[in-house]
Chains A and B, each alone.
Chain A
Amino acid sequence: MSDLASVSRAVDGAKPTRPVTFWSLATQRFLRHRLAVSGLLVMLVIAGIAAAAIWLAPHSPTAIDPVAFQAAPSATHPLGTDSVGRDVLSRLIFAARVSITVGVLAVAMYVVIGTAVGATAGYYGGKMDLVLSRIMDVMLSFPPLIIILFAVSVFGRPSIWNVILVLGLLGWPALARLVRGQFLALRDLEYVLAARANGSSDARIVLRHMLPNALAPVLVAATFGMANAILVEAALSFLGLGVQPPTPSWGNMLTDAQSLTVLERMPWLWVPPGFMILISVLSINFLGDGLRDALDPSLRL
């Protein structure tokens, strides 16, 4: 409560007519974070490229150029061709779709699960909390990449949907813990007690009153989660367990670069996908940093 009071006092003098909310303040603070804004812009550009891949790519991502295998960049192939004569630029553009899809869908999936579980555990407490927390502990104690490798191979045919499903089903415990912590703190605050005294239902208290106040850290965690999902997808595809060929993904494009000669003399085979992974993960992390700073209730103007 003291937080809210101080916020209104600080802004009072500046713009008395306009109502100042937590979110508008956060937006202001976010926009002042240059790296975060550039991160957001880069991600928007990548998302735009992914959406418009069909129009942007100069060639089909799977078409083979019979006279250019591992060819250096040229007018017809601005970023050269890969080991079976496919245009690297076109593959790079189409691969953005995979990364964005995996990042967004997997994270969306575990945000929903994690929030639901965390909210339930934190709100009800007691035995419910005990059971759910122990499940989270168990899930968190598994080595994640091994579980993912196992799950992807057990689900049968490896595919982008399997990767999403596995990441979504395994990613939630860390997030659920975060939400549970928030709910434990919020549960005994006066406005929640007031809502309860009003006779509001549990669902209404959780969804209307508590969730909006617990959302900020979830947003931050989701952003970092997205960067992680993109990395895991790249790793799985590199190992041949993620996106199946001939569908391009930045990870499986890197499988071409396993020999010294390619690393030293054919940089067009590995620099572009490597750079895209780097730049997208970096921008999302900057974005996350910015969000965390903007949404941190302890950081004042």
Chain B
Amino acid sequence: MKGMRVWLAAIITLVVAALMIPAGAVGAPKSSLVVVSGMWSPPNNFSPINTDSSYGYYVVRFIFQGMMEARLENNQMRFSPALATRWEASADRQTFRFTIHPRATWHDGRPVTAEDVEFTVMTISDPKTETNRGAEIATIAGLTAGGKRVADQQLGFRILGPKSFEVRTKVPVDPQMFFERFGGNVYILPKHVLGSVPPDQLARHPFFQNPTVGNGPFKFVQYKTDQFVELVVNENYHNGAPKVRRVFVRIIPPTTMLAQLERQDLDLSAGFGIGEILIEDWDRVKEMPHVRPVTIRAPGYQFMVFNFSRPYLEDKRVRRAMAHAINRPLIVNQLLKGAGEIAEGPIPPANPYFNAAVKPWAYDTARARALLQEAGWDFNRTIILRVPTGNILRERTGDIIRENLVAVGIKVEIQKSDFPTHLAALTGKNYDIGLIGWAGPTDPDVSSQFRTGGQYNFGHHSIARMDQLLDEGVRLSDPARRKTIYNQFQELFADELPYVVLYYPNGRTVIAKRMSGVNYDIFGLFDYLTYNWVAGPQ
């Protein structure tokens, strides 16, 4: 009898202890109130204007919002309210008015005001501030192409009332582009917290490791380094309190995503490029009864860039020969298992500005050889193909490209390196051909990659006609006339080939069937209108 009582006591203690373990932090999500999202790598900070990568912005957008949230539906941009309730463009397409939601408040109870927006624009445009949001505000009057203030120029920003303001651009612009970039990608900073911090010290401010004063549907609780970020519901969220009480964003390497899904420890992946399912695991995910696989017709692409400072790559016939030589249909059909598209240009097939009349150069080894002969290619020359590690599919693409180029007589050596080293080699002109990827906003302006001296002009090319078209595209505000310009740009691109665009991969993401109200935004990420998320019982 006594022995039994001891056992009973022990069991009761264990059960009570088990109940006291907080749900969600370990093991399977226990209730409809907790949701676990998974992404591949950890962010290095949570600055709404300077986090290092898409990983950081994925978390930031739960906590901080811009004026609107943007999503592409049936080739049409759709904007949903975030901090703003109203946004309108003037008839001359140069002045834009925003009204902030009357009940929009910071997580400490202070109202979100036009002054906070002004503070954010002033901070980003301060030459001393470290930020990667410059390009998003660069169209505003008084700013340079990099989005920085010029000493004696008037900034195109005016406060109209505590909750309303007006932005003026340098020249008339396409409102769609302005709303996407300024409205969708500029997240507002709390002036009452950061207003007294000197701009040059902002990047290292402890607030960005512990952003407790946000304005979004979720509040920051804690970040366990390299493990998870914990977020809790903002009951006072002005667009309606989220139904999900707690969100954990867990750091899960690509290779273990599947195991986590199988154990029901994961409700959704983060989205395109930062939390996806490996291609080998895709069929397994489709077989799982409790999850819904989601394919995203993605905005991004992988490409092979040519170093234009190498004289032997200057002849466009050489570049076209390589486009003919690379078996892109094989890459898409076999390596991507058909889940991707081929297009000869940097504007995605799913984009309204895509020029369907430009067809990709066909896989044609005879044509490739003929072009190389014609261009006088030195068949004894060995060129270096630089491949960054990390993206397994891209690494495999490198092996296929080498085989394809060798088959037409081009000697190629592969050189692999980690991503930062790879990027340094590309910007330092220390390569012949290199692989890399890109995912950009929906707006077709690609000046930063293809204009002479652009920040991301990895090929270091300078094509006068291309510069002309790109400048024209930014200057015009009428979408129809812009389309004509970008159609011409895509024709010119296919002719000059500063890149061979290899493929546009579809995103392979996943959502637990118990979740509803989940959508992805224009970047293919699932942190879109998160206050609509609903989680059913496990």
Contact = CB atoms under 8 A, between A and B. Distances in A.
B283 interface: yes
Contacts of A266: 280
Contacts of A153: 417, 421
Contact of A261 (B256, B283, B399, B403): B283
Interface in B372-396: 389, 392, 395-396
Contacts of B396: 83-84
A84 B415 CA distance: 18
Given A69-B335, A246-B399, A258 B392 contact: yes
B334 A66 contact: yes
Interface size class of A (residues with CB under 8 A): 20 to 34
A245 B399 contact: yes
A245 B416 contact: yes
B398 A245 contact: yes
A246 B400 CA distance: 9
Interface string A252-267: 0000001111100010
Contact of B284 (A62, A64, A83, A261): A261
B278 A66 contact: no
Contacts of A272: none
Contact of B280 (A63, A66, A262): A262
B241 interface: no
A244 B335 contact: no
Interface string B408-423: 0000011111000100
Nearest 5 Cβ contacts at the A-B interface? A69-B334, A261-B280, A259-B280, A260-B258, A261-B281
A249 B350 CA distance: 40
Nearest to A69: B334
A153 B422 CA distance: 12
A32 interface: no
A270 to B, nearest CB: 12
17 contacts: A66-B334, A83-B396, A84-B396, A84-B399, A86-B399, A153-B417, A158-B415, A240-B389, A244-B416, A246-B403, A258-B255, A258-B392, A259-B254, A260-B256, A260-B281, A261-B284, A262-B280
B183 to A, nearest CB: 39
A203 to B, nearest CB: 44
Interface in A146-202: 153, 157-158
A217 interface: no
A152 to B, nearest CB: 11
A262 B395 CA distance: 17
Interface of B: 254-256, 258-259, 278, 280-281, 283-284, 327, 330, 334-335, 389, 392, 395-396, 398-400, 402-403, 406, 413-417, 421
A83 to B, nearest CB: 5
B280 A157 contact: no
B413 A244 contact: yes
Contacts of B280: 70, 259, 261-262, 266
Contacts of B402: 62, 245-246
Given A246-B414, A260-B256, 14 more contacts: A67-B334, A153-B421, A157-B415, A244-B413, A245-B399, A245-B416, A246-B399, A259-B280, A260-B259, A261-B258, A261-B278, A261-B281, A261-B283, A262-B280
Contacts of A246: 399, 402-403, 414
Nearest to B330: A66
A83 B399 CA distance: 10
A240 B416 contact: yes
A85 interface: yes
Contact of A62 (B254, B327, B403): B403
B281 A64 contact: no
Contact of A64 (B400, B414, B415): B400
A86 B256 CA distance: 26
A259 B335 contact: no
Contacts of A260: 255-256, 258-259, 281, 284
A62 B259 CA distance: 32
Interface centre among A62, A69, A157, A259 (most CB of B within 10 A): A259
A279 to B, nearest CB: 26
Contact of A158 (B330, B334, B403, B416): B416
B371 to A, nearest CB: 22
A259 B255 contact: yes
A246 to B, nearest CB: 5
A85 B331 CA distance: 11
Contacts of B256: 260
Contacts of B398: 245
A22 B78 CA distance: 88
A86 to B, nearest CB: 8
Contacts of A63: 403
Nearest to B404: A64
B94 to A, nearest CB: 51
Contact of B281 (A66, A86, A244, A259): A259
Contacts of A158: 415-416
A258 to B, nearest CB: 5
Contacts of A64: 330, 399-400, 403
Interface string A119-159: 00000000000000000000000000000000001000110
Contact of A259 (B258, B334, B395): B258
A62 B403 CA distance: 7
A62 to B, nearest CB: 6
A62 B255 CA distance: 26
Contacts of A245: 395, 398-399, 402, 414, 416
A249 to B, nearest CB: 13
A65 to B, nearest CB: 9
A262 B283 CA distance: 12
Interface string A39-67: 00000000000000000000000111011
A84 B416 CA distance: 17
Contacts of B327: 66
Nearest to B400: A84
Contacts of A66: 327, 330, 334
Contacts of B414: 244-246
Nearest to B285: A261
Contacts of A258: 255, 392
B417 to A, nearest CB: 8
A263 B330 CA distance: 25
A259 B280 CA distance: 7
